[in-house]
Amino acid sequence: MTSSTEVRRRTGGRDVRRIVYSREEIGARVAEMGREITAHYPEGEDLLVLGLLKGSFIFLADLVREIARPVHVDFLVAASYGSGTVSSGMVRLLYEPEADLAHKHVLLVEDIIDSGKTIDRLAPMLNERGPLSLELCALLHKRISPSAVLDARWVGFEAPREFLIGYGLDHSEDFRNLPFIASL
């Protein structure tokens, strides 16, 4: 368990509302998701794990170490928050994956599904590249969007409708390095 002194030290003295998910809870769930993903994909077929940066990088690093099969890893960058605490709704694609998606199973890894607009924009673009399959894995899901182009097959945790930081999630580029997820 993380003490309040440790939290304040790690956040530079800034208060958080509460710890939503501890380091231990996250570790256990990520390990479980890795086992589920390993079991889902056929052996001998290529699996490309595609991380949505920047928020997914810590989750993706831990997740791929729990997938007990060969994987390729690539990234893409989309932006929708800027410096605010609410998604702007405008999605900008800043970096596309360099890996060839054709004839591979593609697992898109997202830190948090909020409005769903980012995934709604990316899924059709990725499907146009001819993957064998396209699945979505998210650490957190707020269940705000009534419908989505691509539903998450794997979700780590249901997210409260609060602004969350830590374990890759940021506020204006701060707090990504926290080993837990907290409400700001």
Strand blocks (E) in 61-160: 72-79, 92-95, 105-113, 133-141, 152-158
* CA torsion through residues 117, 164, 62, 69, sign: negative
Instruction: Please say whether the beta carbons of 43 and 165 come within 8 A.
Output: no
Pairing of strands 92-95, 72-79: antiparallel
152 Cβ contact partners less than 8 Å away, ≥ 6 residues apart: 110, 113, 136, 137, 138, 141
Q: Which residues pair with 78 in a beta bridge?
A: 93
Would residue 114 show up in a list of annotated catalytic residues for this protein?
A: yes
124 burial (CB, 10 Å; 0-12 / 13-18 / 19+) is: exposed
Pairing of strands 133-141, 105-113: parallel
Which candidate in 62, 111, 114, 170 is catalytic? 114
Residues labelled catalytic: 114
